[in-house]
Amino acid sequence: MTDLCAEALATIYAKPTPRVIAKARPAIDAHAKKFIEMSPFCVLATSGTDGSVDASPRGGGIGFVRVAGPNQLLMPDRSGNNRIDSFRNVVEGSGFVHLLFFVPGIDETLRVGGRGTLSADPDLLASMVEFGKPPRAVLSVAVSEVYFHCGKALMRSKLWSGDKVQRSVMPSITEVIHEQTGLGEPESQAITEERYKAQL
């Protein structure tokens, strides 16, 4: 396999159209705001001091990420595995973040980029209670770029088709990690799901 260089890319891909370039906006407009307010799920990407990249799934109730203004988003951080790779990248790395928002049933996605900072201000945490709990911290994103991404990837994947894989085809995550590491106790999927629900 031969790796492609930058010059070779130009021989494979046409230049993007003016409309594709122009759709990248410097702020959240009414359409992007509506999309974010309908979204229960996004992927958060951050970069570390060593150039590494982390992508982390984030979810909550519909509109769990708050549009605080045309250039500010607020994302609550819920219970997780405590690795905090994303947040270490925000405070120690480049600070740049990128979010990819999904809305079930809509094939297009929304991409939002900017710089992140973290807050544990008690009043802010209290204003973002969900599942009966305040977040542990809130990620504030100073938004600098927003654009809608075409729906072809989700159309190809048929992500919203309703055809679901039966969960039983894979062992539970605790069984997988136990087999991989020998650490922890393997739990059935039913027990794992009950633990998840208690920790939301």
Q: Please state the domain extents for the chain.
A: 7-159, 165-199
Task: Quickly list DSSP for 16-80.
Answer: PPHHHHHT-BSS--HHHHHHHHH-SEEEEEEE-TTS-EEEEEEE-STT-SEEEETTEEEEEE-S-
Residues in the chain, how many? 200
Average pLDDT of 105-113?
98
Average pLDDT of 183-191?
91
User: 10 Å Cβ neighbour count for 130?
Assistant: 13
Q: How far apart are CA 106 and CA 11, in angstroms?
A: 33
Q: How many CA within 13 A on the CB side of residue 104?
A: 8
Q: Which helix (H) or strand (E) holds 154?
A: helix 152-157
Average pLDDT of 82-96?
92
Specify the CATH architecture of the domain 7-159: Roll (2.30)
| 132 φ/ψ angles, rounded to the nearest 5 degrees | 75, 10
* Cα-to-chain-centroid distance, residue 70: 19
Share of the chain above pLDDT 90, in %: 81
Q: Is the dihedral of CA 146, 148, 152, 157 positive or negative?
A: positive
User: 10 Å Cβ neighbour count for 46?
Assistant: 23
Average pLDDT, the chain: 94
Residues 117-145: tens digit of each pLDDT: 999 999 999 999 998 999 999 999 999 99
Q: How far apart are CA 74 and CA 118, in angstroms?
A: 10
pLDDT at 200: 80
Average pLDDT of 84-93?
93
